[in-house]
Amino acid sequence: MNEVVQISSPHIHLTASVSKVMRQVVYALIPGILLSVWIFGWGTLIHCLLAVFFALTLEAIILHLRKRPLQMFLYDGSAVVTALLFALTISPFAPWWLNLIGICFAIVVAKHMYGGLGYNMFNPAMAGYIFVLICFPAELTVWPLAKSISDVHAGFADTFSIIFSGQSSITGIDGLSGATALDYMKSQLSGMAMVSEIRTSPLFGSLGGKGSEWIACAWIAGGVWLLLQRIIKWQMPVIFIATLFIISLLFYWSDANIYLSPVFNLFAGGTMLAAFFIVTDPVTASTTPKGRLIYASGIGVITYVIRTWGGYPDGIAFAVLIMNASVPLIDNCTRPKAFGEK
C-alpha cells in the first residue's frame, strides 16, 4: 500500500471495488429499515441518520489524525454500513448519547485502533453494541410496541423528544414501550411459566415477535438480493441458520414447554439481520472454506446457548464477538491442502 504503484501482471481487472460492495449492502438494508419505521415508528430512522452522521464525522476526524487519504476511505462506505447495523440493533427509543458512545466505540476502538478498514479483528457494529449493552443495559431493553399491539403511537416529534430529551408529551411512556419478545420470554420462563402460556401474550406474532417477524422477512429479502448479486456467499448464512435451527429443534423436541421453537428462534431478535449482514462480514469472518463453516456454526451454537441459558436475552452479538476472536486461530488450523499436496 505504501509502495509506488507499479505496472505488474495481471493487467486486466474485474470491475469490483470495496465501495461498490458496501453500497450494495446499504441498498439491501433499506427495505428492512423502512419496515422498521412503519412498525416501530420514526425512532429507527432517526437513529440510523444520527449514527451515519456520527460515524462519518468520527471517521473523518480519525483519518485526518492518522494522516490517511480522507476521500478514498470516507467514500468506501464501510463506516456507513457499520453505523446502520449499529443503529438497527439498538432500541428506537434509546437516547442520542447512547448512539454516540456506541458509534465512538465501534469506529475508534474496534475499527481504527486496529488499523481501519480491513484490519479490524471484531465486527465494529457488534463491538459497539456490546459496549453500550454492558454499560447501559436499562436504556436498551425498552422497545416501542409494534403498531398492531398498542393504540398509542409516538409521532415524529414525540420520538424526537424521547431520543433527545428523554421526555415525551404523551403521558405515560410505558404505554408506548415494553420488553422485546425475547426479553419477555426470558423473564417469564425464569418465572416458571410455560412457553405455550407465554406465547399467548400480545407481544408475539405467529412466527416471532409481533411486528419484528415482518422485519426479519425484510432482512431475508435483502440478504437474498445480496446473494444474487454475489456480494455475500451462501455458505455462512445458511450454515448459521441451519445450526441454530437444528439445535433448537433438538431441544424443542425434548421439551416443548421450556425450550423455544426453532421457528421462533429464527424470527425473533436479530437472527436474520445477523445471518445476512453480520455473520457475512468478510473482514471479521474466517477466510478458509472449512473455517467459514466452523465460524458460522460456532456463532449459531453460542447464540443458542446464551439465549437459552445465559443472562442476556439475545446472544448473537456476543457470539459474533467470541467467534471473531477465534477467527485467526480457526484460520490457522484449517489451512486447506494445496494443489498437489493430497
Task: Write the binding mask 73 to 92 for other proteins: x where contact by CB under 8 A, - elsewhere.
Answer: ---x-x--------------
Query: What is the C-alpha separation between 129 and 102, in angstroms, rounded?
Result: 6
Residue 152 or 325 having the CB closest to other proteins: 325
Output phi, psi for 307, to 5 deg: -60, -40
Residue 179 or 231 having the CB closest to other proteins: 231
Q: Segment 130-149, which members bind other proteins (CB under 8 A)?
A: 130-131, 134
Q: Is residue 191 close enough to count as binding other proteins by CB under 8 A? A: no
Q: Segment 273-302, which members bind other proteins (CB under 8 A)?
A: 282-285, 287-289, 292, 302
Q: Is residue 109 close enough to count as binding other proteins by CB under 8 A? A: yes
Residue 122 or 267 having the CB closest to other proteins: 122
Q: Around Cβ 325, how many Cβ atoms within 10 Å?
A: 12
- DSSP designation for 8: -
Residue 160 or 225 having the CB closest to other proteins: 225
Long-range contacts of the stretch 173-178 (C-beta < 8 A, 24+): 173/93, 175/150, 176/93, 176/144, 176/145, 176/150, 176/152, 177/93, 177/142, 177/143, 177/144, 177/145, 178/142, 178/143, 178/145, 178/203
List 86, 96, 122, 267, residue binding other proteins (CB under 8 A): 122
Q: Is residue 309 close enough to count as binding other proteins by CB under 8 A? A: yes
Q: Segment 6-25, which members bind other proteins (CB under 8 A)?
A: 6-14, 16-18, 20-21
- DSSP designation for 180: -
Which of 162, 204, 156 is CA-nearest to residue 180? 204
Q: Segment 38-67, which members bind other proteins (CB under 8 A)?
A: 66
Which of 67, 84, 261, 68 is CA-nearest to residue 182? 261
Cell 479483528 belongs to residue = 121
Least Å distance, CB 132 to other proteins, is 11
List 61, 70, 97, 115, residue binding other proteins (CB under 8 A): 115
Amino acid at position 239, single letter: I
Q: Segment 314-333, which members bind other proteins (CB under 8 A)?
A: 315, 317-319, 321-322, 324-326, 328-329, 331-332
